[in-house]
Amino acid sequence: MKVQDVMAKNPRSAAPNDSIQFAANEMRLHEVGMLPVLDGGRLVGVITDRDIVVECVATDSQPSQCRVEQHMTANPIIIGPDADTSEALELMGQQQIRRLCVVEDGRLRGIVALGDLAVQPLPADAVAAALSHVSRRNWHLGQQRVHV
């Protein structure tokens, strides 16, 4: 099965100069935990709900004043739409992330999440291994900043 068969197409996005408040509202409205950050249609980063809470809100910054570019993860891990879903699982496990931006010819085509893959007819041990790696990282975080 290919990534393009299970990815979420036409995801909502943010721009680098958007406010954190805008990004948080988009996540709330569309029930997502991550937004790709696009500059002129080109993927330049991702911003997660965790980035917003840990990097903006918890530091007593004003979400309406903070910009996405201040708290996003630049140069996110990507995958192509023609990649096999087993490759996506392996990449998520290796990189200890739950979501991948799907990019083709420099343009964002969608997002594939670990949850999208977990409900597909894939080898259970591959899904379990990816989840185990991602969860292990989140379990022992301590003071470390994480981008997923």
What is the radius of gyration, based on Cα positions, of the chain? 15
pLDDT digit string, tens, across residues 62-119? 888 899 999 999 999 999 999 999 899 889 888 888 899 999 998 999 999 988 887 7
Domains and CATH numbers, the chain: 3-139 (3.10.580.10)
pLDDT for the residue 134: 56
Closest CA relative to residue 36, chosen from 63, 72, 79:
72
Distances (CA, A) of 107 to 38, 56, 72, 103, 110: 9, 28, 18, 5, 9
